[in-house]
Amino acid sequence: MLHGLMMQMPLLISALIKHADRHHGDTEIVSRRVEGDIHRYTYRHLHRRARQMANALASLGIRMSDRVATLAWNGYRHLELYYAVSGSGAVLHTINPRLHPEQIAWIANHAEDRALFFDLTFLPIVEAVAPHCRSIRHWVAMIDKEKMPATSKVSLLCYEDLINSHSDDYEWPEFDENLASSLCYTSGTTGNPKGALYSHRSTILHTYAIALPDSLSLSARDVVLPVVPMFHVNAWGLPYAATMTGAKMVMPGGQLDGKSLYELFEQERVTVSAGVPTVWQGLLAYTEASGLKFSTMNRTVIGGSACPPAMIKLFQEKYGVQVLHAWGMTEMSPVGTVATLKAKHLALPPQQREAVQQKQGRVVFGVDMKIVGDDGGELPWDGKAFGDLLVRGPWVVREYFKGEGGNPLRNGWFPTGDVATIDADGYMQITDRSKDVIKSGGEWISSIELENIAMAHPAVAMAACIAVKHPKWDERPLLVVVKKPNAQVTREELLAHFEGKVAKWQIPDDVVFVESIPLGATGKMLKTKLREQFRDYKLPSVA
Ligand code: ADP
């Protein structure tokens, strides 16, 4: 056996911030703060303050592998913690503030968090959960001294005080790249949330992969605005990919409405963004109503749930913004596939190119995937056969934190819970989450396909398709629709809109119009809630 003779250097998150400082020291990070203003500084400042914070963490008694939690928006202080906590060998646990306080306390206890850093917006949550969090010793408000809130319920430390009282004289430690770097809990729509525990190695490999040209194609010429929150699977890896490539970062804080986002896009000359479809709905509603265009944004990542084809068309054909439809999950750090074209697609007319982009895409190198049938046998890549989607790779979980839920793997593969097809070119398309599939008379109906068709109707703002019990067919599709403001459309017109687009038996049985569709903690439609709401719904076909 002959070993290679290259240096052994662990892949560590601290290397990213050192790199950004040394090679892109004057590149900006711009943040909309909870204070209400716009804050600007550079990678050099970020690195200095991250080192000060690393010293502060040590002074608080935070040791290697201790968990440090955050309840925070996208902003420079949160970014400092990304590097200070993980870089010093502790584990950053980003908590989703949109979860119920009971769930937040449960997660913090499960993770055994030692400290929790929060944006002032979340003080009420902190006050509610503090008495129930057994392991947290320090509550740190991410604000300066003058703006520290008065609360008698929790004893608070001040973030800026901590930074100011510590020097930036700090050497990032070297350690095993397989040590844990950060922790994210799945939203736990079924059962308790489970922790995906990332390592330094998995994070760095994932970062290389998502920056590649056929992923997000990030570079030092980009200005990145992650709308996806830093508490939703590490903002899909963008806070790491930006330091790796030297891209400028723009952080929107808590103001995620269309107008506030649009202003930042334009003022900071953003070139690339990322978020779930519901966020883009808000932004596009604003630009459509105001007749605005994007002057610098040239691409955006859309994922987390299926991107409606109508949105791809609008972004690309009207706004000249390329849509990068991506798929992944918390258990995958999160990126698994991105729908970028191959050379042979370039000459296709827009409609056919968009048909490729509507799929969830090809794997990024490092991820392996397959679809299997009920017997576990692999299904063909013909774009038609659909089955359970399984994945594996160096940034895919092998088990959950503290062994929760037992061994999740099937013969070394992680079952995603998604049902998908894969075509001969390797483009995967999700037909459904297995729990959202509508099973009608032994046949499966894709709720995503029906929603995509509904969303293409000009009067529809949002649509969810759910299964409703049926005495003869087991389940039948019910379409739940939010109309656009002032739009008129009837049940009959919407049902007619499906004709010729899917087989007759797949057309929804009924349409109900609602004011709003419940969204989950990550901005996705909460179909579990809708199914509960319409559990006893009487379809006209059953009358
Ligand atoms: P949760 O929604 O449970 O918090 P994740 O955010 O990890 O967890 O979501 C992962 C799931 O989101 C995937 O398994 C898949 O069902 C869905 N998903 C993610 N991206 C897409 C996409 N582009 N199209 C369809 N579904 C998607």
Q: How many residues does the chain have?
A: 543
Mean pLDDT, range 250-276, rounded to an integer: 97
Strand partners, 302: 275, 325
Q: How confident is the model at residue 384 (pLDDT cuts 50, 70, 90)?
A: very high
Q: Are strands 248-251 and 28-32 parallel, antiparallel or unpaired?
A: parallel
CA of 432 to the centre of ligand 1 (A): 10
Mean pLDDT, range 74-101, rounded to an integer: 97
Which amino acid is located at 538 in the chain? K
The string of DSSP codes covering 379-399 is PPSSSS--EEEEEE-TTS-SS
pLDDT at 189 over 70: no
The string of DSSP codes covering 342-368 is PGGGTTS-HHHHHHHHHS-BEEPTT-E
Q: Of ligand 1's atoms, which has the minimum distance to the CA of residue 326?
A: 23
pLDDT at 114 over 80: yes
Ligand 1 pocket at CB < 6 A: 186-187, 189, 303-306, 325-330, 334, 360, 416-418, 430, 433, 522, 524
Round to whole Å and give the CA distance between 516 and 344: 41
Do 79 and 43 contact (CB within 8 A), yes or no?
Answer: no
Which residue is closest in CA terms to ligand 1's atom 25? 306
Name the token pair of 290.
Answer: 């105001």
Residue 85: predicted pLDDT: 99
CA of 328 to the centre of ligand 1 (A): 6
Q: Of ligand 1's atoms, which has the minimum distance to the CA of residue 302?
A: 23
pTM to 2 decimal places: 0.94
Q: Of ligand 1's atoms, which has the minimum distance to the CA of residue 306?
A: 24
The question of whether 444 is a catalytic residue gets the answer yes
Round to whole Å and give the CA distance between 511 and 39: 47
Mean pLDDT, range 237-264, rounded to an integer: 97
CA torsion sign, 466 to 470 to 476 to 480? negative
What's the chain's average pLDDT? 96
Per-residue pLDDT of 438-464, as tens digits, reads 999 888 999 999 999 999 999 999 999
Residue 16: predicted pLDDT: 98
pLDDT at 112 over 90: yes
Q: Of ligand 1's atoms, which has the minimum distance to the CA of residue 189?
A: 3
Q: How confident is the model at residue 521 (pLDDT cuts 50, 70, 90)?
A: confident
The question of whether 439 is a catalytic residue gets the answer yes
Name the token pair of 364.
Answer: 């990024």
Strand partners, 429: 421
Residue 188: predicted pLDDT: 64
Which residue is closest in CA terms to ligand 1's atom 21? 305
Strand partners, 462: 482
Residue 190: predicted pLDDT: 59
pLDDT at 1 over 80: yes
Residue 523: predicted pLDDT: 87
Which residue is closest in CA terms to ligand 1's atom 6? 329
Q: Which of 94, 186, 271, 330 is catalytic?
A: 186
CA of 301 to the centre of ligand 1 (A): 14
Q: Which of 80, 177, 268, 331 is catalytic?
A: 331
Q: Which of 127, 160, 288, 444 is catalytic?
A: 444
Give 92's Cβ-side CA count (13 Å radius). 30
Round to whole Å and give the CA distance between 127 and 132: 10
Q: How confident is the model at residue 541 (pLDDT cuts 50, 70, 90)?
A: confident
Q: How confident is the model at residue 318 (pLDDT cuts 50, 70, 90)?
A: very high
Residue 187: predicted pLDDT: 72
- Name the nearest CA neighbour of 85 among 54, 44, 118, 51: 54
Which residue is closest in CA terms to ligand 1's atom 12? 304
Q: Of ligand 1's atoms, which has the minimum distance to the CA of residue 360?
A: 23
Do 312 and 353 contact (CB within 8 A), yes or no?
Answer: no
The question of whether 331 is a catalytic residue gets the answer yes
Round to whole Å and give the CA distance between 538 and 253: 43
Which residue is closest in CA terms to ligand 1's atom 4? 187
Please provide residue 423's backbone torsions phi and psi, each rounded to the nearest 5 degrees.
Answer: -95, 175
Round to whole Å and give the CA distance between 245 and 221: 9
Q: Which of 439, 490, 493, 501 is catalytic?
A: 439
CA of 231 to the centre of ligand 1 (A): 15
CA of 204 to the centre of ligand 1 (A): 22
Give 71's Cβ-side CA count (13 Å radius). 27
